[in-house]
Amino acid sequence: MVTMKDVGREAGVSAMTVSNVLRGNTNVTPETARRVREAADKLHYRLNTTSLSARSLRVSTSRHGRNFSTIGLAIFELDRPYPSQLASLISQAAEKRGYQTVVQETRINAENERSIIERVSNQFCDGLIFSSSRLSASEIEQLSNHRPTVLLDDDRPQQDLDTILTPSEAGAQAAIEYLWSTGKRHIGIVGGLGENLVNAAGEDNDSSATFDINDTLHRRLMGCCNAFEKLGVQWEDVPIIATPWTDTDARKAIAGNADLVRSCDALFCMTDTTAFGVIRGLKDIGLRVPDDIAVMGFDGIDMGAIMTPSLTTVAVDIPMVAQKAVDLLIERIDDESDRERQRIVADFRIAQRESA
Amino acid sequence: MVTMKDVGREAGVSAMTVSNVLRGNTNVTPETARRVREAADKLHYRLNTTSLSARSLRVSTSRHGRNFSTIGLAIFELDRPYPSQLASLISQAAEKRGYQTVVQETRINAENERSIIERVSNQFCDGLIFSSSRLSASEIEQLSNHRPTVLLDDDRPQQDLDTILTPSEAGAQAAIEYLWSTGKRHIGIVGGLGENLVNAAGEDNDSSATFDINDTLHRRLMGCCNAFEKLGVQWEDVPIIATPWTDTDARKAIAGNADLVRSCDALFCMTDTTAFGVIRGLKDIGLRVPDDIAVMGFDGIDMGAIMTPSLTTVAVDIPMVAQKAVDLLIERIDDESDRERQRIVADFRIAQRESA
DNA sequence: CTGAAAGCGCTAACAT
DNA sequence: ATGTTAGCGCTTTCAG
């Protein structure tokens, strides 16, 4: 690494003069400045900002008088609508409160998450937001040196961190009840079993042994189950189509379960993206939505309103998730007191559109 | 700020012992350890990782023997398919090469971009990728202390940085030619004029005065223009429907230009998202796609394949954009030599699907 | 106009 | 088992 000392030696001056030249602050002879700049160019000098920050510990105010507060957001996937909308909303909510957000993709991999904390979040973030983490709260706490942390969509009971949850159980129950209220009596569920999101099985048997990637799934299934029970339908009789929660997988799952699908008059899908694939898959096998069969999703991503047919769905209040996450985190950052951890379930509404 | 010294004073030990306890490394009396931990808790001590990094300058290898290389990606929006897919692909390409990616949303705002560089990228990234930046290359260079930088989709000729471009001109030309080849003779263009992406007019009149947010638009229009010229169609006769490049805006634009739309037998949309809104808007006014009118998009986002009807589009090789961006950047990071700047235009193909 | 010294918080190496 | 020393790259202070 090239230091100011090196540049100084090359230019025949001290490191101090190099510093002065490069920041253009104090008076330096034009000739000296030129020599220094040449030397810096020649050696490809780059300001080592790490040590700059070390220095800045000393001076209370930053050079520009701004607050350099930063939130780290670890999110499972960036290429799908729900997490990317959430990331965007969090960025914007944080910005309104004077925080910069840095987003990192975990792809639901524990090793990635550790790396994120070690390399970045822990290095310079004032707080962390973890969405669908595979790490235990205690590991996050330890790796992050007890940085304030908010978890999203992590329902493991042993966690002792602030948590924002999507209304999986209540939302799913409301979905089934809605379909029932429109006269559907043969409601199937899509996205039920098997590995979900990604096939991330078989890793990480230690710290997160208690973690089930299908946690959110279970809560949504539980909501369905409750609804059917209230409606007097045997849970065992409910058709469940297994598929990962992606559009292409869901499309294939419909093709592979055509007969089962034809016995239904409505399908409730575990996510909107799944529903998109289902609607496409239904067209592939000659079924019209909603005329032949109703389809309902879960999430409330923007694109659902634009699709043809537009998607009836459990619309989670995603801006609320983002806002609460940011608020809770900043509260923790500002206030070191040990107030009790919070656990907030986001609102939802049934967005009644064309598909059901 | 609470330092190890403070904790040590509270616990009646030296800072060194505090360090040892907190990292659980060396042998410490359980009793001492307990006292230290209590003191740390009481004072709300948090490891100052800034100085950790300062320290790490000294020891060549990191504590875990890993390389802590990081790429900063500044992207205009995270809640739309194209940029979020791109961000995801860049993250994954970088990871394969041992780099962690931190993503930040600019929302096409110069002040945000400056903040991103100052707060984050400049602090600890080895290199930057800027997508649709509003800053000039020279400002980026200066703010980032000459960090290696790759620009995406920035066609300003004065820039002297590595650049990856989407094939706007060739892609648009190919789109028009494709529609023509299917017998369409009344092709309209959607997404043509007015502020695009966001209404970010009126800011930043100094450094980026030379920057036109409609730059990409102009290149795509130029491609259309070339195609029509070759086909013997007067450019002045081509219907152009102005709308920002979002689905909801595009949907409204169709409703507001119903008569003009009805005179067309095909519509070429500036982005896939625009096309989604257009298809929906066409249904709103009773036109069927592709029976009554063909629709074509530009980008090649995944969802286009799942829609009903599936979207015929200029499918940019987005993985190639991501891969080249990462490769070029890492090349710059590794090799300080001043090889000439590169300028790569990504491949594309016409994804021939149902909508046209 | 230029440079020497001190020190930011932390920890490896060494001393007690 | 615990403490002391030195130093990471840089910049503020103050002396030449």
Question: Chain A residue closest to B84 (CA)?
Answer: A79
β partners of residue B130 = B74, B151
pLDDT tens track for B243-257: 989 999 999 999 999
- Mean pLDDT for B191-218 is 50
The full DSSP string for B283-308 is HHTT--TTTT-EEEEEE--GGGGTSS
- Find, among B266, B264, B268, the residue nearest to B313 by Cα: B268
pLDDT for A213 beyond 60: no
pLDDT of residue B172: 97
pLDDT over 50 (residue A289): yes
Within 8 A by CB and 6+ apart from A78, the residues are: A84, A87, A103, A105, B78, B84, B85, B87, B88, B91, B103
- Stated in angstroms, how far is B14 CA from D4 C1'? 10
Residue A207 pLDDT exceeds 60: no
CA of A43 to C1' of C4 (A): 25
List of chain B residues whose C-beta atoms are within 8 Å of the C-beta of residue A49: 122-124, 145
B48 interfacial to chain A (CB closer than 8 Å): yes
- Confirm or reject contact between A279 and chain B (CB < 8 A): yes
Task: Find the Å distance, CA of residue B62 to C1' of nucleotide C10.
Answer: 14
pLDDT of residue A62: 34
What 3-state DSSP class applies to A45?
A: coil
A145 contacts B46? CB cut-off 8 A: yes
Q: Which CATH number fits domain A4-50: 1.10.10.410, 1.10.260.40, 1.20.1730.10, 2.40.110.10?
A: 1.10.260.40
B293-306 mean pLDDT: 96
Rounded to whole angstroms, the Cα distance separating A16 from A13 reads 8
User: What mean pLDDT, rounded, does chain B reach?
Assistant: 84
D4 C1' closest Cα residue: B16
Strand C bases contacted by the protein (CB, 7 Å): 1-5, 7-13
Tokens of A94: 């944080």
pLDDT digits (tens, 9 = 90+) for B116-131: 776 666 666 778 899 8
Judge whether residue B28 contacts strand D, using its CB and a 7 Å cut-off.
yes
Report the protein residue whose CA lies nearest the C1' of nucleotide D7. Answer: B58
Dig out the tokens for B157 from the structure.
Answer: 């000729």
| Tokens of residue A163, six digits | 């948590």
* Residues A148-152, mean pLDDT to the nearest whole number: 90
**Is A151 buried (19+), middle (13-18) or exposed (0-12) by CB count in 10 A?**
buried
What is the structure's pLDDT at B346? 96
Nearest CA in chain B to A251: B306
Point out the residue nearest to C7 (C-alpha to C1'). Answer: A58
pTM score, whole prediction: 0.84
CA distance B289 to chain A (A): 11
* Alpha-carbon torsion, ordered A58, A61, A62, A68, to 10 deg: 110
A239 Cβ under 8 Å from any chain B Cβ: no
**Distance in Å, alpha carbon of A112 to nearest chain B alpha carbon:** 9
Q: Mean pLDDT over residues B304-329, rounded? A: 96
Asked which of A67-76, A272-281, B271-280 is least confident by mean pLDDT, the reply is A67-76
Q: Is A252 on the interface with B (CB under 8 A)?
A: no
For strand D, is any atom closer than 7 Å to the CB of A14? no
Q: Which nucleotide is nearest to B26 (CA to C1')?
A: D1
Nearest-by-Cβ selection for A91 from B78, B122, B248: B78
Q: Delimit the domains of chain A by residue range.
A: 4-50, 70-166+318-347, 168-196+214-316
Query: Could you give the percent of chain A with pLDDT greater than 90?
Result: 52
Decide whether B4-50 matches B70-166+318-347 in CATH topology. no
For residue A126, what pLDDT band results from cuts at 50, 70 and 90?
confident
* A1–B92 CB contact, under 8 Å: no
Contacts of B7 in chain A (CB under 8 A): none
A11 to A16, A29, B2: CA distances (angstroms): 12, 13, 40
Residue-level pLDDT at B51: 64
Q: What is the mean pLDDT of residues A288-317?
A: 96
Q: Residue A325's pLDDT is what?
A: 97
Size of interface A-B (CB pairs under 8 A): 176
Of B64, B124, B303, the CB nearest to A124: B124
Judged on CB neighbours under 10 Å (0-12, 13-18, 19+), B61 is exposed
A31-59 pLDDT per residue, tens:
888 888 888 888 878 777 666 655 555 54
Q: What six digits make up the tokens of A299?
A: 């999430």
Q: Helix (H, G, I), strand (E, B), or coil: what is residue B103?
A: strand
Residue A310, number of CB atoms within 10 A of its CB: 17
- Which of A50, A17, A47 shows the shortest CA–CA distance to A35? A17
Pick A168 or A121 by higher pLDDT: A168
The pLDDT, as a whole number, for residue B337 is 66
Q: How many Å from the CA of A138 to C1' of D7?
A: 34
pLDDT digits (tens, 9 = 90+) for A95-106: 999 888 989 999
CB contact under 8 A, B44 and A336: yes
Task: Tell me which residue in A57, A84, A307 faces B79 most closely, judged by beta carbons.
Answer: A84
Q: Considering only B50-64, B82-96, B335-349, which range has the smallest mean pLDDT? A: B50-64
Angstrom distance, A52 CA to D8 C1' = 12
Tell me whether A102 touches chain B (CB under 8 Å).
yes
Contact B120 A100 (CB under 8 A): yes
Residue A199: pLDDT band by 50, 70, 90 thresholds? very low
CB pair distance less than 8 Å for B104 and A107: no
CATH topology of domain A70-166+318-347: Rossmann fold (3.40.50)
- pLDDT value at residue A193: 66
Which nucleotide minimizes the distance between its C1' and the CA of A30? C1
| B29, closest nucleotide (Cα–C1') | D1
Lowest mean pLDDT, pick from B25-34, B173-182, B315-324: B25-34
Q: Is A247 in Cβ contact with B306 (below 8 Å)?
A: yes
Contact flag B105-A102 (C-beta cutoff 8 Å): no
d(CA A252, CA B107): 36
Q: Tell which CATH classification among 3.50.50.60, 3.20.20.70, 3.40.50.2300, 1.20.5.510 matches the domain B168-196+214-316.
A: 3.40.50.2300
Confidence bin at A79 (pLDDT 50/70/90): very high
pLDDT, tens digit, 9 for 90 and up, residues A173-186: 999 999 999 999 99
pLDDT attached to residue A60: 34
Contact A68 B118 (CB under 8 A): yes
A307, A276 in Cβ contact below 8 A? yes
Can you list the positions of beta strands (E) in A167-316?
Answer: 187-190, 240-241, 266-269, 294-299, 312-316
| pLDDT score of A332 more than 50 | yes
Provide the pLDDT for residue A333. Answer: 80
Mean pLDDT of all residues belonging to chain A:
84
Which phi and psi (to 5°) does residue A149 adopt? -140, 140
Q: Cβ of B84 under 8 Å from any chain A Cβ?
A: yes
Report the distance from CA of residue A19 to the C1' of nucleotide C6 in Å, as an integer: 17
Residue A136 has a pLDDT of 81
The percentage of residues in chain B with a pLDDT greater than 70, rounded to a whole number, is 83
Mean pLDDT of all residues in A178-200 = 76
Separation between Cα atoms, residue A174 and residue A177, nearest integer Å: 5
Q: Do B44 and A104 touch (CB under 8 A)?
A: no
